Chains A and B, each alone.
Chain A
Amino acid sequence: MITLSYRIQGGDFDSAGLATRKLKEQLSKIGIGAPVMRRAMIASYEAEMNVVIHARTGTLWARLDEEKLDLEVADEGPGIPDVQLALREGWSTASSQARQMGFGAGLGLPNIRKNSDLFDIETRVGRGTRIRSTILLGARDEGDAPLLNVPGFLSLDYRRCRACLRCIFACPTAALRVHGSRPVLLPELCIGCTACAAECGDEVFGIGGADTGSSHTGRTAAPRGSGAELLPVPPDAVLVLPRGFLAGFPVNDSPARVLAALQDAGFADIRLVEEWEQALRREARTFAGSGKMPLPLIPPFCPAVVALVESRFPSLIPHLGRWLSPIEAAGEEFPLRPVFLVAACGAQYSAAGRTSLTDRLTVLTPARLAEAVLPGLARRPAAASTASAIAGGEPAPDPRELAATGVRHVMRVLSEAEAGALDGATLLDLSLCDGGCAGSPLLCADPFLALHRWQRGPISAAHSDAAAVPRQKPYAQRHGVRLDKDMGEAIRRLARIDELTRALPGRECGACGAPSCAAFAEDVVMGRADADGCPHRPEHGEETQ
């Protein structure tokens, strides 16, 4: 994989197109095919001209691997007040100078979209715009599901697995199996929550690792951070982390000490992701009262809850609030500074990684940041630091809101909401980890221990300018594993799954490695498991009553 980057100067019509030309020179060396090159040039040039025409300054990034070319153009500029309007052909706000040159026909953004396999635009008025275009190097297959739609990014360390089967029952989307003595992930079903990791006593599960099973490899937009060097920290870097990280260390290391150690490591500007969570909560509360959306409103506090709704509760998709999740919003907040985001789970890891292709944004696992900090902790004196305060503080709860955390409870609440039984609630404040993000098993041993530690030594609140960021990309149902590309064959398979499920004993014991008889039946029909895997089938001579 290679990453190239080029600066773009706003208003400079003389050198306009130079970044794209340089990109072409590099791509030519690689021998990229003519149809892909053509689409890349159109998308890149149009995006570059957007910066020249509208913005002060910007950068073009291109990232190429064996499957796809990702282009990203970010600028510091006026932003686009109405993206839907801007995407309409013929709509433009270009200057008369640009129009005289033949630009400003309102075809730029539509042209980029037309030539992309995946297109995404994020914009903030007064701040700037970020356009992403992905072009798949293989042939375009319109019938295929989007390739880059795997939300989770779990890594599995097979060697630690004792095949205890607890994870397969913990997974809310039945994405895990244990075959032989190793866990197997069905990435299409994984929503990136950490339910498996919370249940696993052997630390099999992590995030951000490369070893995520062969079928998974190359199918996600690989989040940055896995290989990036953390130190030295760039001088103007911002570190955004969850409160649970500061409170996640053994008892002598108070949040203030951890904070001081991070500052020692070179992070001058440290922010809590909870700032953006609160900004989102404020915005969502206002919006819930506006009558513009069906209630209860489900703001995207937790990207894993969003993925769960998209896969298991699609009828609630209209209830999902159209904002970026807090960690994504934090990544958008500082467009031209290096930002380090600490993700508490796979869902955050991939959501944060998706917001940018640039090296500006580095997504870290808690473990990786801890590696950088722990030596600092050991060196510090025991007295708590009085390092500069960072924002915190919770808004008061509202009785019309329903807050729930933990997989089991969130699943129950969503079922009730789907059944229309929660009509009185205005807002669902849901988080898949026990006790909220602080309960992520990747942050600390237990959310209540962390909370205790935080309450004993909280870091006083400063003013926060964090804001909720509107989401441009619509939510979409996740279809999970497709039984077959051909619908006729898919229907036949569905019938076989149904038949086999009924023939199985229904003990849901997990002995076959699947969490339920229905999941096992699907595994057998899809060729993922052998029918003999069930030790309780009647032909094994065992009583099924």
Chain B
Amino acid sequence: MKVKELAGLIDARLHLGTCSEDSEIARVHASDTMSDLIEHAAPDTLLLTTLNNNQLIRVAELLDVPGICLVSGADPRPELLARARETGTAILVSPTGLEETCRLLEACSGKLEVTRA
């Protein structure tokens, strides 16, 4: 599934990095601890998290994560967006909370695998 399509499913705002538009996403992993996000980070995995800090981009960069989805309509920090642009990571902001976003994504289970910490 393309990032754009996924953003549409959860009605998320999409801040695109430079080259992530075509990334294929097969899995979404939801967690609010860094170590758990790292463990599940992969080139086909979108990370879904209540966290909102620059280290998310670092992890995305190190482990080739195509995109990160913040929740509850969070405002991504300007530095986070700036770094995301540099690294080509998509930043999505879901208007709903973590649980609700997961539920919405699980609804299209045929195309996406959703895991939680």
Q: Which residues of A contact B (CB under 8 A)?
A: 13-14, 16-18, 20-21, 24, 38, 41-42, 45-46, 49, 101-103, 105, 107-108, 111
A17 and B62 in contact, given A102-B34, A103-B35 (Cβ under 8 angstroms):
yes
List chain A residues, Cβ under 8 A from B62. Answer: 17, 20-21, 24, 41, 45
Give the contact stretch, choosing among B14-22, B46-54, B99-107: B46-54
Q: A21-B61, A42-B39 are in contact. List 4 more A-B contacts (CB 8 A).
A: A49-B34, A102-B55, A105-B34, A108-B35
Query: Do B38 and A42 have beta carbons less than 8 Å apart?
Result: yes
| In the complex, the 5 A-B pairs of residues with the closest C-beta atoms, listed nearest first | A107-B35, A17-B58, A105-B33, A102-B34, A102-B51
Residues of the A chain whose Cβ atoms lie less than 8 Å from the Cβ of B54 = 13-14
23 A-B contact pairs sorted by A residue (CB < 8 Å)? A13-B53, A13-B54, A13-B55, A14-B54, A16-B58, A17-B55, A17-B58, A17-B59, A17-B62, A20-B62, A21-B58, A21-B62, A38-B42, A38-B63, A42-B38, A42-B39, A46-B38, A49-B34, A103-B35, A103-B55, A111-B35, A111-B38, A111-B39
Q: How far is the CA of A42 from the CA of B65 in the complex (A)?
A: 13
Q: Look across to chain A and name the residue whose beta carbon is closest to the beta carbon of B51.
A: A102
Bound Cα distance A105, B53 (Å) = 16
Q: Are A101 and B35 in contact (CB under 8 A)?
A: no
Inter-chain CA distance A49–B33, complex, in Å, is 13
- Residues on B with C-beta less than 8 A from A14 are 54
Of the four ranges (under 10, 10 to 19, 20 to 34, 35 or more), the interface on chain B belongs to 10 to 19
User: Residue of B at shortest CB range from A112?
Assistant: B35
Residues of A with C-beta under 8 A to B71 = none
Given B38, B53, B63, which contacts A101 in the complex, CB threshold below 8 Å? B53
Residues in B whose Cβ lies below 8 Å from that of A16: 55, 58
Nearest B residue to A110 by beta-carbon distance? B35
CA distance A41 to B64 in the complex (A): 10
The answer to whether B11 has its CB under 8 Å from any CB of chain A is: no
Q: Which of the residues B35, B42, B49, B59 comes within 8 Å of A105, measured between beta carbons?
A: B35
Give Cα A356 to B34, complex, Å: 28
Query: Which B residues, 39 to 87, have Cβ-Cβ distances below 8 Å to chain A?
Result: 39, 42, 49, 51, 53-55, 58-59, 61-63
- The residue from B36, B55, B61, B63 contacting A107, defined by CB atoms under 8 A apart: B36
**Quick check: is B37 within 8 A (CB to CB) of the other chain?**
yes
CA distance A326 to B46 in the complex (A): 50
Rounded to whole angstroms, the CA-CA distance of A101 and B35 in the bound complex is 11
What CA separation (Å) do A516 and B111 show in the bound complex?
Answer: 67
Give the Cβ gap from A227 to chain B, nearest Cβ, in Å. 32
Query: In whole angstroms, how far apart are the Cα atoms of A101 and B33 in the complex?
Result: 8
Interface centre among B32, B35, B53, by most A CB within 10 Å?
A: B35
Q: Which residues of B contact A49 (CB under 8 A)?
A: 34
Q: Are B55 and A46 interface neighbours, CB within 8 A?
A: no
Contact A101–B39 (Cβ < 8 Å): no
Give the one of B37, B59, B62 with max A CB within 10 A: B62
**In the assembled complex, how far is the CB of residue B18 from the closest CB belonging to chain A, in whole angstroms?**
17
Query: In whole angstroms, what is the CA distance A13 to B79 when docked?
Result: 13
Asked whether B34 lies within 8 Å of A101 as measured between CB atoms, the reply is: yes
In the complex, chain B residues whose CB is within 8 Å of the CB of A46: 35, 38
Q: Which of A17, A21, A38, A102 has the most CB of B within 10 A?
A: A102
A102 x B33 contact (CB < 8 A): yes
Kindly provide the distance from the CB of B111 to the nearest chain A CB, expressed in whole angstroms. 24
A46 CA to B49 CA in the complex, in Å? 19
Determine the chain A residues whose CB is within 8 A of the CB of B36 once the complex forms: 105, 107
CB distance from B110 to the nearest CB of A (A): 27
Distance in Å: Cβ of A99 to nearest Cβ of chain B: 9
> Within 8 Å CB of A17, what residues of B?
55, 58-59, 61-62
B41 smallest CB distance to A (angstroms)? 8
Chain A residues, CB < 8 A from B37: 102
